[in-house]
Structure 1
Amino acid sequence: MSRYLFFVSELYALAILRPLQEAVRARGDEAAWFCERESLSEYLRPEEVRLASVQAVIDWRPDAVFVPGNWVPQFFPGLKVEVFHGFSVGKRSEARGHFRVRGSFDLYCTQGPDTTQPFQQLQQQLGFFRVVETGWSKLDPLFNGRYPRDQRTRPVVLYASTFTESITSARVLRDTIAASAQRGDWQWLVTLHPKMAPDIIESYRALEGPDLRFAMTDDILALYAQADVLLSDTSSVVPEFLTQHRPVVTLRNRRPGPHLLDVQEIAEVIPAVEHALQQPESLMNAIRDYANRIHPYRDGRSSERVLDATSHAIQVGRAGLTRKPLNVWRRVQARQRLGYWGF
């Protein structure tokens, strides 16, 4: 029986790791959680096993540690597996963001060719980790039938925005969305990130009515499944939604392309949504091409592939790999963050 640890530094990790937990349990193996901050443990479910201290993790001796983030304590036992917190959306340079290698991981489970190829190049250059394309565990519920679409008589438009103040569209689009809902153009779903400014959240919550539903949820996939079109900006929700092969309208996206209906002016937003609902052939072909690059897997079994890749990496060990960088300062920082100095 194998033991797998889920290392949680941010709340979004739960949605990424829970499909993995299901796959682990289906194989008859053990899963446990370690939360970097005590407050995160409040979101664990009663049936989920929590290891409350670093010493408990060390004593439990996991075979692998799954991490949807950019750091993991090297003194934790087990193979260190990066499963990613999202797709690369261009919020920051790739050298500082998605493709930055910090020397923490033994295995990168990539989401699709767009991620796999750069990491394979880094693997060849650096030599101390493996790369396996598996698909992304977070999206498994979107494709395994967990979220059947509701019966509807009108199109559903989902609005979701990044919380980053410098690029969010939430402040400037509030009145446009309010006017559309008041006209009854279509059914609106609105969700905002918990880190969004509180005044913005309250301003959208006030719009709730027959043609607009406001939802603060940790299960945004359920909203994706119901929407015909997404309206957003430079948010991580954009590529996630596109994997369904459904259109996205963005306002001033930092990385526009033929797979998006990106507009620069607020007055262009509603006409762009209307156009997206028609699903023009050229746009839909571009969306399918983009989705196949970032995440071609639509079988809901990415978690299974992650576990298979992890089992193989454990079996072969460090054979063929160079030594991981020592990174003394980063190791000290990890102990400081967790307040653990045992050896």
Structure 2
Amino acid sequence: MYISQNYSYAILRPIQKYILSQGGEVCWFLEGDEVNPDYLLPKEIRLDHIDDVISWNPDAVFVPGNVVPHFIPGVKVGVFHGFNSGKRDNARGHFDVRGFFDLYCTQGPNTTEEFQKLATKHGFFNVVETGWSNLDPMYRTMESNPYVTQEDTRPTILFCSTFTPKLSCADSVFETVKLLSEKGRWRWLVQFHPKMESRIVEKYKGIQGPNLQFVETDNVIPLLRAADVMLCDTSSVLIMFLLLNRPVVTFRNRSPSDYLINITEVDEIEDALSLALSKPEKTMSAIQEYADQVHPYRDGMSSVRVVEATNKLIDQGIGNLKRKPLNIFRKLKIRKKLDYWKF
């Protein structure tokens, strides 16, 4: 499990769980200083250096990102760090193929179709639609949820925001969120991307109280399940919320659609949230249609399909695939980042 961000733990743990249940072994490599080793569970095994990874000789490397060291043994499997939220054009965003992976495990029809076109064009990777492992726990029964309380029956609003300054609404809506939380009509949960500017994080931490809780976590799923409505901007986490068949109010979303309740002014937020809580029929129907294209799997078995697709590739080998591009510059960047110069 090759990770560089804290949110990757939740993406890969369902895959780990299935591999271990089948008698396999799993180790973790944490790249860089943006991933917190304290999030590792007691029984999870960490390999501290790339030399350790190479010596361990993995059969497969699972990566929720765009690049992976080519010199690590094993087939390289891309499992995505989020959904395609339209923040960037396809070539630079969700469909950015950088020549490192042997297999892409896609989330649903709207990503599979594009990646199959790219696979035909490039020829150096396979594509299998598996669903997204990160969502497996979302479709399973939870014994308890730390963000749900039987004593507080008010509707719950989850506010999430991307960290990109041009796309984030966190600063713009702060005073409105503060005012609405003070009214006490709703219970607020606030969670941001781990790269969010610390200044903004501290502002929201400063307004915590009986009606608003700021949450820092490596697993957003309990938050999603605890909320009735989401307020968001362009963060891909909104797609996960839609897959629970729950409405999202977006603030100046770059790709407004009929499955979103999109607004452009802060004084529209309260009415838009009230509308979302009423679950308007037209919006809910559009959400269902969208969900079927993005991620039609509701069985909590996507991690099983990922492992099965990986095992099939290991068994058949990659001899039928074209050679990957040289990628000299990117490979040198990876070596420099890892301070690894053995050839």
**TM superposition score category, shorter chain reference:** over 0.9
Aligned pair partner of 1:136 in 126, 132, 137? 132
Q: Which runs of 5+ in 2 are unaligned?
A: none
Alignment of 1:295-334 (within 5 A): 295-334=295-334
> What displacement does 1:42 show?
3.7
Residue type of the alignment partner of 1:333: K
Aligned to 1:341: 341
User: Which segment drifts farther, 138-147 or 274-283?
Assistant: 138-147
Conserved in 1, the CA contact under 8 Å of 2:249 and 2:261?
yes
Contact kept? 1:193, 1:216, Cα under 8 Å: no
CA separation in 1, counterparts of 2:298 and 2:218? 22
Hey, what does 1:79 align to over in structure 2?
A: 75
Equivalent residue letter for 2:250: T
> Structure 2 CA distance, aligned partners of 1:39 and 1:296?
32
CA RMSD after TM alignment: 1.5
> Helix, strand or coil: the match of 1:22?
helix
| Matches for 1:28-107 after TM superposition, within 5 Å | 28-37=23-32, 40=35, 41-107=37-103
* Alpha-carbon separation, structure 2, partners of 1:269 and 1:68: 33
- C-alpha deviation, 1:126, in angstroms: 1.1
How far the C-alpha of 1:329 sits from its partner, in A, is 2.9
8 A contact 2:14–2:303 mirrored in 1? yes
- In the aligned structure 1, how far is the partner of 2:323 from the partner of 2:117? 17
Q: Which residue type is aligned with residue 121 of structure 1?
A: K
Deviates more, 1:329-338 or 1:97-106: 329-338
Name the SS for the 1:235 alignment partner: coil
Counterpart contact for 2:27–2:47, Cα < 8 Å: yes
1:258 corresponds to which residue? Answer: 258
Secondary structure of the residue aligned to 1:284 is helix
Q: Distance in 2 between matches of 1:138 and 1:87?
A: 11
2 CA distance for matches of 1:300 and 1:118?
24
Please name the residue that 1:221 is paired with: 221
- Is 1:118–2:129 an aligned residue pair? no
Give the counterpart letter for 1:24 in structure 2: I
Give the Å deviation of 1:89. 1.1
Amino acid at match of 2:137: P
Q: Structure 2: which amino acid aligns with 1:31?
A: V
Question: Aligned in 2, Cα 1:38/1:186: closer, same or farther, shift over 3 Å?
Answer: closer
Partner of 1:3: none
Measured against aligned partners, the alpha-carbon deviations of 1:281-310 in whole angstroms (never above 9, x if no partner) come to 110010011111111111111111100000
8 Å Cα contact 1:81/1:106 also seen in 2: yes
Name the count of aligned residue pairs: 338
Deviating above 4 A after TM superposition, structure 1's stretches of 4 or more consecutive aligned residues are none
Distance 1:194 1:332, change over 3 A: closer
